[in-house]
Structure 1
Amino acid sequence: MEKKIFIGKYIKAGIEFLEENLYFIWGAMDDAISWTVEAMNTFLLAIPFPLMLILVAGLSYFAKTGKEGLQKAKIKDGLGLASGTFFGLIIIYLMGYWEEAIQTTTLVLVATFIALLSGIPLGIVAAKNKTANKIIRPLLDLMQTMPAFVYLIPAIFFFSVGNTPGVIATVIFSLPPAVRLTALGIQSVPSDVVEAGYAFGATENQILFKIQLPLAMPTILAGVNQVILLSLSMVVIASMVGAKGLGAVVYQGIQQNDIAKGFESGLGIVILAIILDRITQSFGKNNA
C-alpha cells in the first residue's frame, strides 16, 4: 500500500530543528545529568558495604514502623522488612554486582527526582485547571502507550550515548504516574474540607500547601512508588544507549547468550525493585 501520510517526516524535522537551535540547552542538560550521576555513584560507592547495609536496613525499619516504632506489632513488621532488605543486599554483594547495583540505584534515583520535580507541579496544574487537564491527559496517554524503545531515538540524537539519554528516556516513561496520582490525590480531597479552609480566610496557596497536599500525600506517595518501579523497568532498555548498571549486565548476557550472567543480574534488579517498592509503600501507608 502506498504511503500517504508522512507524520514521521515532520517529527524528524522538528527534532532536527530543536537539536540545531537549542544545542546549548541539551549540552547543559547532558553536563548536569552526567555530573550528578557520576557524583552520586562516587559518593555511594565510597560508603563501605557494611555501613551501607546498616543504613538501608535501618531505613527499611523506619519506613515500616514510622512513629509507632516501639509497638510490638510494628517492631515485628519493621524487623521483617529490615531483615529482607539485609539479606537481599548481601545476595547482590556476594554475586559480585554491588557496583552495578549502585549504578542502577543512582540512575533510578536521578530519573525519579527529575520525574517528580516535573510531574508533581504538572499534577497540581491538572487538578486545578480543567483546560490544562484536557491538554495534559492526552499527552500522558501518548507517553504511557508509546513503546519505550521509541524514546531512545531522540534521546540519542540530543545526547549521544551514555547515562544521560538513559535517564531522559526513563523520565519520559515514568513521568505519567506522578502527574496522574498527584492530580487524583488533590481532586479526591473532600470539598467540605476545602470550603472550611476558605471560610476561615485561607488563601489559595494555604489551601494547597496546608490542606490539599497533606491530605493527598498517600496518593502522591503511591505515585512515587510507581515512578520508581517504572524507572527500574527501564534500566535494561536504557543500557542499550550506554547507561551503566545491572541493566548493562543483562544486556551483555543477552548478547553473549550467557544464561548465568543474565539471570544473576536480572535477580539483582528484582531484589532492588522489591526493596524500593516495600520501602516506598511503607512510607505511603504511614502517611495515610
Structure 2
Amino acid sequence: MEFRLPIGDWIEYFFDWVDAAFGWFFEGMRALFLGMFDAVLWLFSTPTPWIVIVLVAVGALLARGWRFAVGAVLGLAFIISVGQWDNAIASLSLVLVAAFLAIAVAVPLGIWAARNDTVSKVIKPILDFLQTLPAFVYLPPALALLRIGVAPAVIATFIFAIAPGVRLTELGIRGVDKEVVEAGQAFGAHPRRILRQIQLPLAMPSIMAGVNQVIMLSLSMVVIAAMVGAPGLGQDVMQSISALNVGLGFEAGLSVVVLAILLDRFTASFGKGMGLYSQWSKGRKARAEAAAQARFDAEDATSADVPVTAGA
C-alpha cells in the first residue's frame, strides 16, 4: 500500500481560501504594483533614449568617474543598436520597483533584528527557507493570488531578493564597534540618535552591499518572471528558447548584462564612497570638521584668557 501525504492538495485549498477571503487585498496590491511600474516606466520611456543616456552618463561621472561614464554610454548605445531599448526600460522599471519594495522592508527589518536577538532568531530560519527555495517556486503562488502580468513578477522578485538585504543590514549594525556606541550612550544620546548618527553611517558599506545584492537578485528574477507575463528582456529570452533563436537570445542576454553592470557599479560606488560627488561630500565634511575644531579651539583659548577672581 502506497502512503502519500496530500501536501499539494492542502496548499491548493489554502490558496483557494486566501483568495476567497482576501481577494480584495490582493486586488489592491495588484493595482499598487501596476501603478508603480507604470510610473517608473513612464519616467524612463517619455524622454528620447539619448536624453536618458546623457543623464545616466552624468550620474555615472558623478558616481564613479569618466571611465564609468564612457562605459555606460557605450553599453546603452549597444542596447539601442540591437533594438532592445524598450524591453530594457521595461526590465529596469520592474527591477527598480521590486528592489525598492525589498529594500524598504529589508533595511528596517535588519535593523530590528540587529537590536533584538529574539527577532534575529525568528527571521533567520525564514530567510534560510527563502534562499533555499528554487526561484521558479515563487511564481505559482504569486500567479495564483495576483493573476498574470506585472504584479506576480513584482511580488515574486520581492520575496526572492529580500533575504540578503536583511542579513547584511543586520551584520553591518552588529559589526559597529561597541565602544563607539557606548561612548554615545555615555554622553546621554537617545538610542534613535545613536542609530541615526553612529550605527547607520558606520554600517553603510555593509548595508549598501545588501542593496547591491537585492538589485542583482531582482534583475535575475525579472528574467525568470517573464514566464508569468512580466514584460521586458525576459520575454525575448523565453522566445529565443522556444524558437531556438540563438541570435535573439544573445541580444537580450547581453542587454541584461549591460543593465546588471550599470546597476552593480552604481550601488557599489555609493557604498564605497567613490566618484566626484563622494569626493565633494568628503571635502565638505572635512571642512565642516575643521571649522568646528577651530571654533572649539577659539572658545578654549578665550576661556583660558579670562582671569579667575577669588571669592569673598
Range class of TM-score, shorter chain: over 0.9
TM-score (norm 2): 0.85
1:103 matches 2:66: no
Q: Distance in 1 between matches of 2:3 and 2:197?
A: 55
What does residue 242 of structure 2 align with?
Answer: 255
1:46 matches 2:55: no
Shift of 1:12: 3.0
User: Of the two, which has the highest radius of gyration?
Assistant: 2
Shift of 1:187: 0.2
Q: Distance in 2 between matches of 1:8 and 1:137?
A: 26
Shift of 1:38: 1.4
**Structure 2 counterparts to residues 24-103 of structure 1, below 5 A:** 24-64=24-64, 78-103=65-90
What does residue 291 of structure 2 align with?
Answer: none
Q: Distance in 2 between matches of 1:16 and 1:97?
A: 39
The CA deviation string for residues 225-274 of structure 1, in whole angstroms up to 9 with x for no partner, is 10111011112210000000011111111111111111100110011101
Classify the secondary structure of the residue corresponding to 2:105. helix
**Structure 2 counterparts to residues 213-232 of structure 1, below 5 A:** 213-232=200-219
What does residue 208 of structure 1 align with?
Answer: 195
Letter in 1 for 2:24: F
> Once superposed, what is the RMSD of the aligned Cα atoms?
1.4
The CA deviation string for residues 137-194 of structure 1, in whole angstroms up to 9 with x for no partner, is 0000011110111110110000110011011111111000110010000000000011
Shift of 1:4: 4.0
Shift of 1:63: 1.2
- Where does structure 2 lack aligned partners over 5 or more consecutive residues? 279-312
- Where does structure 1 lack aligned partners over 5 or more consecutive residues? 65-77
1:241 matches 2:190: no
Distance 1:128 1:9, change over 3 A: farther
Q: Distance in 2 between matches of 1:206 and 1:100?
A: 44
Q: Distance in 1 between matches of 2:29 and 2:230?
A: 16
**Structure 2 counterparts to residues 2-21 of structure 1, below 5 A:** 2-21=2-21
Letter in 2 for 1:115: A
What does residue 272 of structure 1 align with?
Answer: 259
Q: Distance in 1 between matches of 2:269 and 2:232?
A: 26
1:187 to 174, 184, 195: 174
What does residue 99 of structure 2 align with?
Answer: 112
Classify the secondary structure of the residue corresponding to 2:34. helix
Q: Distance in 1 between matches of 2:25 and 2:194?
A: 36
The CA deviation string for residues 13-58 of structure 1, in whole angstroms up to 9 with x for no partner, is 3322222111111011100101111122122111111211111111
Figure out how many residues of one structure are paired with residues of the other and give that number: 275
Letter in 2 for 1:31: A
TM-score (norm 1): 0.92
